Structure 1
Amino acid sequence: MVRFTHVPIRAGEETFIVKCDIKRKAEPLELTVRTTCYQVEMTIKYKYQNETRTLYSHFPNSINLGRLYERIPCNVEFIFTNIGTAPWYFQCEPDKIANESHELKMSLSTAAGLVLSKDSRSVSLSIVATKKNTFTDIPFSIKITKGPEFNILFSGNAAMPEYTLSFREYDFGPKILLNKYDKGAYCVELIITNMDDTPIVLTKTSEDPDFLNVDLLSCVIQPRSRIQVPVSFIPLTAGVRESTIRLVFNDVKEETVHIKAEGVKLDILLMNGKDEMIDLGIVEVNKTVRREEEIRNNTQCTVPVWLEMTVANDFIATVTPKTFEMRPNSSSKIGVSLTPKKRGALYNGDVTLHHADYKIPLLSMTCLGGGYDISLNRQHVPFPAVIIGSSVVEHVCLVNQGEYPARYEWKMDSQVRQLFNIAPQKGNSNPGSFIPFEITFYPTKLFKSITTEVCCMLSNGQTLAMKLTGACLELPPSKEVIEFKTPVRKELINTILLENKTYTPWTLFPVLSGKYYSGEDRVEINPNGKLDYEVRYNPLLSTTEDKKHMGSVFFAFPDGRCMLYSLQGETMPPEGVSTILWTVTAKEETPKSLEVENWLYEPQRMKVTFSRTDRGNPEMFIIQGPEFIDLPPKCVKPYEVHLYALQEGVSNWKIEMMNERLKEYLWYSLTLNV
């Protein structure tokens, strides 16, 4: 084997003859060798910060890296392009001594490589400044096999990134505890501004405690711009809390932000605890009642609050002010007003203080919408015909169905006062009351009819008018005497026949006189009809021989006639109240009770006596009780009796109770079964 080596000195095709002498051969062996030589052709460009330029081999290439940041790599990309036919190798060599002297570190993605014909390759050079410095003409070379060498001089300066923080310490101060997690309740924005012309990578390396939320993990701050980082305090428990936020810029520079805050309990209350329940009573319709209350903030911070008052359909309820701020340990006054729009409407409402999700009931209020509703139950009072010199009484009620009291007074001129009297003349009408008035008609001269009007003046300015009508007749002679005879306290009824012989109905108003006589004050008789008018005699006291119970009944008929009857009552001894049967055991004391009724409208003191009515020996029985019993007016009272029998048998007794002043008595029939 024969190896030939050819070293071309120019590009192009070459042909040459190689002669080789071979032993035992007369002629040398000739070889014709044809070669083609290609010239190395390339372009090398670099790309830095979006700028691309071409490198030249015949003079040094200066690349100004500008401003670098400490420990932040900057990248320069070299692009190798083979524009020729023959492939070639490249070799990148940074100057180690120069790099170390300026404390720069250079690293290549590929230090050497082959570039084929019509192909390209990229190599990334990373330059990192290890500290702040300024460097000039740091050499870097690129060698091409069988080709030129490219020399590069790097210049620039290294510095820390420039930025500002809006604060490095922040104290939230006292803040009210939250009922639930809410990172938006107490929030402040940390503003971070990039003062440089290159982006800054910001990373939060600290973990958030349970009371703090920092809405940041990692981000890029563009040149000459700012970001807002929300920092939220979330107080769920009371006490002072502190924490530190750690921020790293470009993985090089660390900054700390100290946060301090305190969680406090909300403490707002009504100054006067007695006003927690306010009863405004009765308020007149369309009139406003206002109350002023004072509330105190015992919380160690300013509290923004708003007030709410229960709304009701029939009331206008307002509270002022609606919204306000309460400073620490200070008091504020609020006004509460109610206006009822309807009578009888009841308001039960609350005033509630709101702060965030807190609801604090301050006070409760009750109010009744009221007004005046006073009237007479009769606007026209017709009196029957009255005998001259006598009188008749009618009754009218003043009804107060409103919610307010009022004073009243009857106004009558002097002429009316000669005929009518109203009692009481003046007084007070309370809500829900019925005040009866007694109107007496006492004419002193004869007239067929009279009509007049009287007024009841109320203190609220209201006037109630009432019409009065009546007539006065001469006293007719008594038609007959109607006699009554009955045991005292036992009612007896006699009748008087009344006859209407006309073809129109009659309405009569009988006039009765006499203490123990009564009857209907109004009767109606049909045309051509008859009516038995009942006169009741109910004597409460006994009569004597010379003193009977006298009375009269007068009828005035629409046809102009009138009748007068005299009434004469006589009483007999009273009947026994009841018959009592008591069963007792011999030689054993037995208590018994007896119900005693007072039939009079005045108190009575009754003397009690016991007497045996059969022929037995009263000494075989002992009946004991109080000697007197005092009875209140018109009531029933028990009378206690103690019985003791010495032998068996049946006996009859009489229990008598005597009013020694009036000589009135009542008695009981008693049967004892021993």
Structure 2
Amino acid sequence: MKLMGCYRLECLYENKPHLKITLRSDPIPPEGSTLIPIFFYPLARLKYSETLHFIINGFQEKKIIITGEGVDIKVFLVQPRHKLLSFGALQVGHIASKCVPIVNKSKAPVPMLLTVVDPPSVLPTLSANKLTDVLHITPKTLVVIQPNETISVTVKFTPNRRIKPFSEKLYMQIHENVEPLCLMTGSCVGSEFQLDRKYLPFGMVVQGCQSSLKLLLSNTGELGARFCWSRDNCDNLFSITPASGYLSPGVTITFIVDFHPINLQQNIRCDNLGEGQSRFFWKLVVDSGQWWKRRRRMRLELSQSSLDSMECKLENFKPLAVSLTGSCVCMPSPREILNFTTVVRQQDKKNIVLTNKSGETWQLFPEMSGDYFLGQDTIQVVPHSVKLYEVTYTPLAMTEHDNKHMGSVFFRLPEGQGLLYSLVGTAEPPVAVARISKEVPSKTPHIEILPVFNWLPVAQRFKVTTNLIKSEKFDPVFTLTSNDYIDVPGNSDRDHRLTFFSYKECSLIFKVSFTNEDSGEYQFYDLALRVFKCGSLDTFTMETCVRKPITFELKLKNPLNSVVNFNISCPASDVQVPTPNSVPAKTMKYVTLEYLPLHPGENHVRLDIQCSELGFFPYELVLNALPAPKENPLIFNTSLGIAVSLEAQFNNLAHTKADFGCKVDHNDFHVDKSELVAPAHTGSVEVTYEPSSLGSVHALLTVTSTTGGEFIFPLIGKCTLPKPQGPIVLKPGTGTTIPFKNVFRETKTFMLSLDCPSFVLKNNSETIKSKKEHKLHIGLLSLKSMEITDMRFPVTGKLVVQCTDPTLSHISWTYYLKGILE
């Protein structure tokens, strides 16, 4: 304010929550100025207006109007799919970057700060604090977004170590408001290997024997690697299996480390020892990168080392080492001989008494030798007690004469002594794996499944042999077939199929053996089969129409070395079977069955074949006779009022006389009620068609016999308008009658009319009942009554008969009349 002298400025406005003013009380020097801060805090979404009253030097008033508007903060992602930023699973050193556009749809500029850790209202998570060095956000500082402006936020994931899968939020801070912007997920995969232990104590091993321990290597990382063990300069002491391979993520592999000393030596150690002692160690080198690109390997080295430490360099992981210790001692003399006797592949058990007279608990690890002797791997004997140690003898091969199975069990006692027991086993021939008894029908293949066991860890081939041990009949006709050999994988079993077939009833006992021809070891089954009379062997279906023969070829097979006769019988009269039937040795023959049905329907009958050598063969016949097709139609052509007849012929295929009944399903047709026909002869009936209306009619004539079957004839009647009849000859002064039938189904009245006055009618109308015949009387006048001009020509005329029913007015009968005057 540019005024003369110093002035004091006062403000009469009281601060409100949404508008605050700060005015200093210092005077304003001449030609000086002052800055008045005004703070606007909108509390709602509306427009504000305030008036500020300033007093200068106590008397001069100045008003200033302050306006503003409170608006919503509308800052959000341009694309909703950016709500989730997935970086996937990266390897160390790789970088993943995501670009997220953000738009400000507010009316006012918005200051925004981005951070992974929610400050300060939300307590940051431990994982979020650990990710601040691998998640880089741009922009890093406060940025002001103008209205309708879009900025890009870049998030980079740069892992430098293994990171478990994480899920963290990216926050945006606007003024004092903190809100999550999006969710970030990802992980960093790497290598991680560890051994279950770093020290393998083998203890005392008898000279010439071997001790084995297990070593576990686990891959707890996300990357797999190949491994390879090397055994430089120590092949005579230690070995490891497997020596090389590949270890997938999340997999644990088991190594077998064997200690097999040759020379007597105490305290063989594999750690940092004094001068003059042997020092062996294994070192494991793991390739945690892409081995196929960088050609790095994982190896385990066992070598004799000096006191200086040997270092194995590897990338991204540290070496792994294992220390080994053991001693080589001589074998003591046997304390006792244990004799075992059992059937091969079965067990015999004996106990060894262990007496602990000391005051310490014995933790013993028995050392068992011998192929077929087993016992517990460890046994604990408490002080001043007796414990039984069980030895199980399970021989997998038979012994011959003095060639026994030999073995031993050695107990190393804590005092440095040992207990040695000799084991002698005798394996006797095997017993039957099982005795199987079955009842099977004759004439029916029977499949018997026999499990064949392989007791060895390697595959075996067995030769299959079958022997008949016992039969209750001297001439059983049967077959027992199977494959000659069967291969069984190691330590498993496989089913072997035997197919048995017997023609007659009998009881048989077989011995089925499976023999390894190389070793002579075998196993066998006792198979007892009782064969009973079979049911229906098969069902044959013969289907045809009535009176249409069909044949079926039946196969007769003779497996014997001599001619056999088959007798075939069937109770159905419409089935013809040939008999007798002779079949030569080792051949088959087809015989023909004929089925000629006379009645429709389905019938199940037996077909029995009897053979004295091969027994009884029962079959079932399904005879299905379909209705016969209709016969050729009988077509009648006539005019109304004229009856016409045709003959329907049919055959009697039965073996006896047949009485055929006849019926027709329409009143315009008439037929005799029955007809008797001799066997193998042709019968016939006369069908009369007498129409009662114009046009065509269809009907069926059914000729039926309980023995000869049924015949159906289609009947077609075609009727036209009545044709003129005559001439009817009359002489003067005489009369005659004309037969006329009411062909309709109801009583009708007919009108009669003449076109010539020389002819006269008795009645001009007649009422005639249905289907009744009536005589129409007509006469010719005498010569005197007629006006005749020329006697040389006859008198002619016609009589027309017409029904009074209006619906039948188009139908009329015409009769021509002729009068002879001479």
Rg larger for: 1
TM-score (norm 1): 0.48
TM-score (norm 2): 0.41
Q: Which has the higher strand share?
A: 1
